[in-house]
Structure 1
């Protein structure tokens, strides 16, 4: 855990975050897109806070899209029921849910892209120093 929890505020923040993660699993089932899954590593849910944005995320659960793992974040103290997004390799945010808790068309388009479009940019090779 990367932040100091305050009750009751953080009980609600973390409950809403976990609710959104659970909804992803439910929403993924009917689509059954090969290569797209919610990936959990470890036992407990490791809720962390991004120090630059303040957003909460579960450090050991990622959305794996064709071999590329994406962190899913929720704004701290969000009043929206389904506020969860991922950030792609270009730094663009993709909202996961609409106001009813269904996947957005933007997310569906994103996860249906071919695997080649989900690879993080390859760093340029380093030149040897003289």
Structure 2
């Protein structure tokens, strides 16, 4: 019968572990503000792929004039505002501003965490190039 081999001892020494980059944020940490440009998400239609609160298929559009359009599959489009100042995104729905963390952003996908009252709302969106870009509502 072969002799049992003892497992290696567990230590706090991490010198044998691969190095981890500190340049990439953890999956639930906001992307560093200096790396985000509104050009990456403005005047494009984004579709909710999954969310902790929004219905999948809901469309989001951040128009260049600061209008936010949210269009749920079985609803009427809602219009709000958005701003991006000093690397911080804010969405304004029904007159209430919500700070929003950009967790990931590239040409085809965007992950957001909106700090609404109560629990934050996570949104995983995909670029929806086949959807027409909505127009801002007429000013009164």
TM-score scaled by structure 1? 0.38
Q: Over alpha carbons, which structure has the higher Rg?
A: 2
TM-score scaled by structure 2? 0.36
1 or 2, which has the higher strand percentage? 2
